[in-house]
Structures are given as structure tokens and as C-alpha cells.
Amino acid sequence: MIRTLSLTCSRCGKAFSAQDHLYYQDDFSVQSFQVIKLVCDDCIRAWKEKWQIAHAEFHEHNYVLTVTITLQDGTVYDNMDCTPMEDTESVITGEDIPPEAQHVLYEYYVAFARQREAQQLKDCFFSKGEDGKMVANLTTVGGEQYDKLAFSVEEGYLKTEQDVPDYILEGLVTAYKSYLAQEQMLSTASQPAPRMPQRKPMPESQWNTGDSYGSGNTGGGFGRRNKNPFGGF
């Protein structure tokens, strides 16, 4: 069966002509060639022109990377889940982004990753100050340094006496948790191993003889042996 497919753009609805290739929208719900979503050259051009990235800001929270993109025409795409692809040096999002803009996005990502790396703690030492308060001396990979940073844990939250950026606080929390775990390991190692509590034998009079077990049982033991309408086992 020979059929005809008219070149109509799925975006602007106009008929168009094509030379050596066609643009179409990837769509997994499309089952037949006839409902394929073609896109005309004009719409592709407008899409590429729209995707001029003015600014992109990446965030990472609980291992989920998101990006907020601002285009030069003022459009903002807020907190989109995204995946950086090292091999193609691009960033993939749920939104259709022209390859050129994906590369631009990747440059923003590289800058973000570099900064994040610099903000990691390189080392962190804890000690108890004279007033009994905990004190940390720490350095970031990027060379930032905090000396004698006093902190306390209140209602489960770690609070520093001076204001520090969030990434310092995050690093400090992680470092202090592993410090406490290590301390605990060292202190239990020097203690005797825990033993089972001693049990006293139960006086015989307290053993269940079956008289009070369940309802309607007469010879003791478990219910289904007695008065079973099906004859029991």
C-alpha cells in the first residue's frame, strides 16, 4: 500500500518543503509513520534562536543535580533535573535543548563542579577547648581555612559560633559524625564485651499446665487437640 505523507509542521501547522533531511520530534507514543511530528526549518531556527543561555545555576541536593536556566529573552526554566554527559560535553535535561545550548550548559556545569570540588574539606581536626566547647580547625581543597571554629550540638543540630557558609557547615557535620563514630569505637574497644543478663529459673508453680489456656480446653495443651469438630490430628 502506497500512502502519502504531507510535510506539515507539528508546531506551526504550516506546510513546508524539505531538501535532504527532515526534523521530527522524538515521541515514543507515535506508532505509525503517518502521525510523526515533523518540524519545519523556520521552527527549528526559532527554537535555536530562543535557546541563548544568559545564565545557568546548578544545585546539588541529596545527590540530585538540578539546574535553573535563564534565557536571553527572559524565559526561566526552574530547577530542572539534569544529567551532565562527559563524553559529549553536554548537559541533558527534560526540556528539548539544541546541542549548541547543551554545550554552553556544560561549560556552566564544569565551573560549578570545580567550585564544588574546591569547597570540599581537605582536612578537619577536632579538639576540646578550655571551656569544654568543641573546636575545629579545617581547610578546604580550595585553601580556605578556619582556625578554632567553636561549635556545639543543640537538639541534634550543629551550630557554629561564627557564621560560616553552608558548604563549610555541611563538611563539618560529616567530619564530626565520623569523629564521634571513631571515638565511640575506641571507647567500646577498651570495655569488656557485653554479656547476656543472668536469668533466674522460673518457679514450677508458674508454669502453664494448660488449665487456663484458651477457652473450653479440658486436658491441657493446645486448642486444636481438643474438642475439634473435625476430629483433630
Q: State how far the Cα of 191 lies from the Cα of 139, in Å rounded to an integer.
A: 34
Shortest separation between residue 22's beta carbon and Zn ion, angstroms: 12
Q: Which is closer to Zn ion, CB of 9 or CB of 172?
A: 9
Minimum CB distance to Zn ion smaller for 43 or for 118? 43
Q: Which is nearer to Zn ion, 17 or 162 (CB)?
A: 17
d(CA 119, CA 162): 18
CB of 18 to Zn ion, least distance (A): 12
Our CB check for Zn ion shows the closer of 96 and 117 to be 96
Which is nearer to Zn ion, 39 or 110 (by Cβ)? Answer: 39
Binding-site string for Zn ion from residue 12 to residue 51, where x marks contact by CB under 5 A and - marks none = x---------------------------x--x--------
Considering only residues 94 through 133, tell me which ones interact with Zn ion, judged by CB under 5 A: none
Smallest gap from Cβ 118 to Zn ion, in A, equals 45
The nearest distance, CB 37 to Zn ion, in angstroms, is 11
Which grid cell sits at 56? 545557568
Q: State which H helix or E strand residue 166 sits in.
A: helix 166-189
Spatial separation of the C-alpha atoms in residues 4 and 155, rounded to whole Å: 71
Subset of residues 49 to 68 that bind Zn ion, contact rule: CB under 5 A: none
Looking at the chain, which runs of residues are DSSP E strands? 23-25, 37-39, 53-61, 64-71, 76-85, 90-93, 121-128, 134-140, 145-154, 157-160
Judged on CB neighbours under 10 Å (0-12, 13-18, 19+), 135 is middle
Q: How many residues bind Zn ion (CB under 5 A)?
A: 5
Question: Which one-letter DSSP state was computed for residue 21?
Answer: -
Contact 156, 135 (CB under 8 A): no
Q: Does 172 bind Zn ion (CB under 5 A)?
A: no
The binding site for Zn ion (CB under 5 A) comprises: 9, 11-12, 40, 43
